[in-house]
Amino acid sequence: MSALSALPLLSHLPQVTVAHLAQHAQVTAYAKREVVLHKGAAGQCLNFLLDGRLQGLDFTADAREVGLYFVQPGDFFGEVALVDNQPQPEYVTALMRSQVISIGKELIRPVLFAVPQLAEALCLRLSQRLRGVSEHRRILGLATPVQRVCALLVQMEKQGRIPQVPTHQELAIMVNLTRESVSRVFQLLQGRSIVERDGNDLLVLTPAQLTAWAEGAEVAVAT
């Protein structure tokens, strides 16, 4: 019950409702690279990530991975299929060992639409996903690897920091680049003291410069 109470989406619910949901919730552990949700599956649950990190992704016609979004601890996912009663629109996979708590559709759906704060949060999430898709398309249309990587980092940065920054491979499939291309951009960013590592986080030291590169400013070649 304490795990559910700590989730932002459910924090407005009475304790008696949370206790009822907890009785029927299922906790599942997933290994790295294990599929959490399958594309095309029926939306049976609303899912919450307790710990770890997940990524929503799909595949192109030639079987290349396309990263769509990341799921961080406390986030919920699988809401699209839950709301519209259509199949799950993309895969969700574990990027590291992760723990997920799931609440059945027949139990959580009435609660979502009966509590105004939950309905509003759900609408906000759906609008964020829609805006995220538009931004993702814009980033993919940028001309250079430097622009794409910098634009993605600008999108992820919060108060000068990107917590638990994804790996170069995880970023690469978000912007249709090779891992090596992303690594070269990071070497450039770190060499110019625009970003630096802080454990598992990435510090953005000069956000204005990162934004300028994302917008196509010329990257001067060091001599």
Domain of residue 157, CATH code: 1.10.10.10
Q: Are residues 52 and 159 in the same domain?
A: no
Q: Is residue 219 part of a domain?
A: no
pLDDT over 80 at 221, yes or no: no
| Predicted local confidence at residue 91, as pLDDT | 97
Q: Based on the domain organization, do 126 and 163 belong to the same domain?
A: no
What's phi and psi for 217, nearest 5 deg? -60, 145
For the stretch 184-219, pLDDT in tens is: 999 999 999 999 999 999 999 999 999 999 999 888
Residues 14 and 103 in one domain: yes
Domain boundary among 86, 112, 132: 132
Question: What's the structural domain count of the chain?
Answer: 2
User: Cβ distance 24 to 42 under 8 Å?
Assistant: no
Q: Tell me: the pLDDT tens digits for 49-73?
A: 999 999 999 998 888 889 999 999 9
**Strand, helix or coil at 52?**
coil
Same domain, 57 and 75: yes
Q: What global pTM score does this model have?
A: 0.86
pLDDT digits (tens, 9 = 90+) for 108-117: 999 988 999 9
Query: Is 117 in the same domain as 154?
Result: no
Last residue of a domain, one of 101, 132, 163: 132
**Cα(180)–Cα(172) distance, integer angstroms:** 9
pLDDT per position as a tens digit, 12-51: 899 999 999 999 999 999 999 999 999 999 989 999 999 9
Closest by Cα among 50, 165, 29 to 97: 29
Is residue 25 domain-shared with residue 116, that is, in the same domain?
A: yes
Residues 170 and 197 grouped into a single domain: yes
Same structural domain, 158 and 126? no
Do 176 and 102 lie in a common domain? Answer: no
